[in-house]
Amino acid sequence: MFKSMFEDISPTTEYIRIDVRNKFINEFNLTDRDDIQLLDNILQHRFPNDKVVCDLSWRGYITFEINKSIMYALKPEFNALKVLRKHLTPIIIHRLYRYPDGLRFCELRDKYKYEYKCFKNEL
């Protein structure tokens, strides 16, 4: 019997990424630009262009609601990264750049002290 293209061809990785992104934004009411960027980064990491995501046909993709299962699998990772970004990033930045013993501050101080001396001698 003849099978339609709907049963033979599977959705592309790009389509799945866009579909999951739209469903995730609508389901969890994302409006913050940083949250949407975080979601895009997660989707790009989870579904690179060279990886085959779905072995099912379009019919199987829609019937078994693969997009919803992917969406709910992404939710814990999204929440974890959002909490880390909110609470851990300020602590890391403070530790790196605090005065006078920040890890990055000491390096920058030495670099710019040398450059300032070189510039001062040229005047």
Task: In the chain, count H helices and then E strands.
Answer: 7, 0
Q: Which two tokens stand for residue 9?
A: 């061809």
Confirm whether 118 is domain-assigned: no
Task: Report the amino acid identity of residue 119.
Answer: F
**How many structural domains are present in the chain?**
1
Confirm whether 78 is domain-assigned: yes
pTM: predicted TM-score of the whole model, two decimal places = 0.73
Confirm whether 117 is domain-assigned: no
Bond preceding residue 100 cis, omega within 30 of 0:
yes
Q: pLDDT digit string (tens) for 35-94? A: 999 999 999 999 888 877 777 788 888 888 888 888 999 999 999 999 999 999 999 999
* Domain enclosing residue 47, as ranges: 5-87
Q: pLDDT digit string (tens) for 13-30? A: 898 899 999 999 999 999
What span, in angstroms and rounded, lies between the C-alpha atoms of 60 and 56?
5
Task: Report the amino acid identity of residue 51.
Answer: K
Residue 12: phi and psi, rounded to 5, are -80, 165
Confirm whether 96 is domain-assigned: no
Question: Are 43 and 21 spatial neighbours (Cβ–Cβ below 8 Å)?
Answer: yes
Confirm whether 43 is domain-assigned: yes
Confirm whether 101 is domain-assigned: no
Confirm whether 35 is domain-assigned: yes
Handedness of CA 54, 58, 63, 67 (dihedral sign): positive
Confirm whether 94 is domain-assigned: no
